Amino acid sequence: MKKALHTTLRRLLLLLPVLWLVVSVVFLLIHLVPGDPVQQMLGEGATANDIAALRHAYGLDIPLPLQYLHYWRGVLHGNLGRSLRLNAPVTQLVFSRYPYTIALAIPAILFSILLALPAGVASALHRAQWQDRWLSVVSLFGLSFPSFALAPILILIFGITLDWLPVSGAGSWRHFVLPVITLGSGMAAILTRMVRTTMLEELGQDYIRTARAKGLTERAVVYRHALPNALIPLLTVLGLQFGTLLAGAIVTETIFSWPGLGRLTIAAISNRDYPLVQGCILTIGLTYVLVNLVTDVLYGVINPRVRQ
């Protein structure tokens, strides 16, 4: 127990430089934009007095090191500034939309896992047979079909032609179906191929032959012995793909008019609302870092040998 706690604390300390880098990059975002961001916020018809006033309001008229310190102070106190277009605190706007994005991402992950685990195991157990070839074709199709192309097809078939499901908003569970399928399909294809590869490696190990020699059923050999050991690489891919999922959520939320953080980010970019863009990107980045930390800690939970 003490060793596990020590390992977790060490990983938290190693996370600090990553957090510093994420916050620093988000801070520099407004300074890396080509041209004058204040001029872009106000438009070409803005007067010099208006530009100077906005610079002062957002603290852009002070030296860059002081701006950096002020931004860090705001982040540590949960103050990310005010939205230029909506005239509301960025923190309030972000956290009003953040639950919708998480509520969409988690079912999408679960959907992909529920598809990938049985498909990957079946593909490994029937290697080089028609089941394996068919699942390989389906997974390859899912890998090569982006979400921005899949979403309109799902809307056309299930929303317009059959009129089974709503195509916009977030009112009931029926509103989740199409966005979740759109987000989870690509990840399911990646996980299926990953499960197949890791299962083939585990099924060829000596301990599997020993388990079969002891008379264990094939179901027990596969699901009690081989599959748990194959979950470590799968967990790695899940952690890495979560960032891709958040990036895909930006497109998916826009297509389905989902009131999440991704749609808020697109609106902020379109309106040149840089404080809000900074807040959205910072939230997405910190979420990705946190998920990878949780993934790292779960290694030891699934396989105690990782803690050694």
b/e code 280-306 from CB counts within 10 Å (16+ = b): bbbbbbbbbbebbbebbebbbeeeeee
3-state SS, 144-200, equals: HCCHHHHHHHHHHHHHHHCCCCCCCCCCCCHHHHHHHHHHHHHHHHHHHHHHHHHHH
Structure tokens at 285: 């980045």
What's the chain's average pLDDT? 82
What is the pLDDT, as a whole number, of residue 94? 92
Banded model confidence at residue 111, pLDDT cuts 50, 70, 90: very high
Backbone angles phi, psi at 89, to 5 degrees: -60, 135
Region 224-242 average pLDDT: 78
Of 50-59, 107-116, 122-131, 204-213, where does the model show the most confidence? 107-116
- Residues 230-248, mean pLDDT to the nearest whole number: 76
pLDDT at residue 193 is higher than 80: yes
* The pLDDT of residue 74 is above 80: yes
Residue 4 has pLDDT above 60, yes or no: no
Check residue 7 and give its pLDDT: 64
Q: Find residue 119's DSSP bridge partners.
A: none
Looking at 32-46, 96-110, 131-145, which range is the least confident one? 32-46
Q: Are 108 and 256 in contact (CB under 8 A)?
A: no
> Would you tell me which CATH number, out of the four given (1.10.3720.10, 3.90.1560.10, 3.30.420.40, 3.40.630.30), belongs to the domain 97-307?
1.10.3720.10
Residue ranges covered by each domain of the chain: 19-76, 97-307
Tens-digit pLDDT profile for residues 6-63: 666 777 777 788 888 888 888 887 777 666 667 767 777 778 888 888 778 777 778 8
What's the whole-number mean pLDDT along residues 259-278?
A: 85
CA 203 distance to own-chain centroid? 31
The reply to whether the predicted model has a pTM over 0.75 is yes
- pLDDT at position 305 is 56
* 275 — pLDDT class (breaks 50, 70, 90): confident
Residue 135: band (very low, low, confident or very high) from pLDDT cuts 50, 70, 90: confident
Q: Provide the 8-state DSSP code for 226.
A: I
- Give mean pLDDT, residues 87-99: 90
* pLDDT (average), residues 135-161: 84
| pLDDT value of residue 171 | 77
pLDDT over 70 for what percent of the chain?
91
Residue 308 has pLDDT above 60, yes or no: no
Confidence category of residue 306, pLDDT binned at 50, 70, 90: low
d(CA 80, CA 116): 39
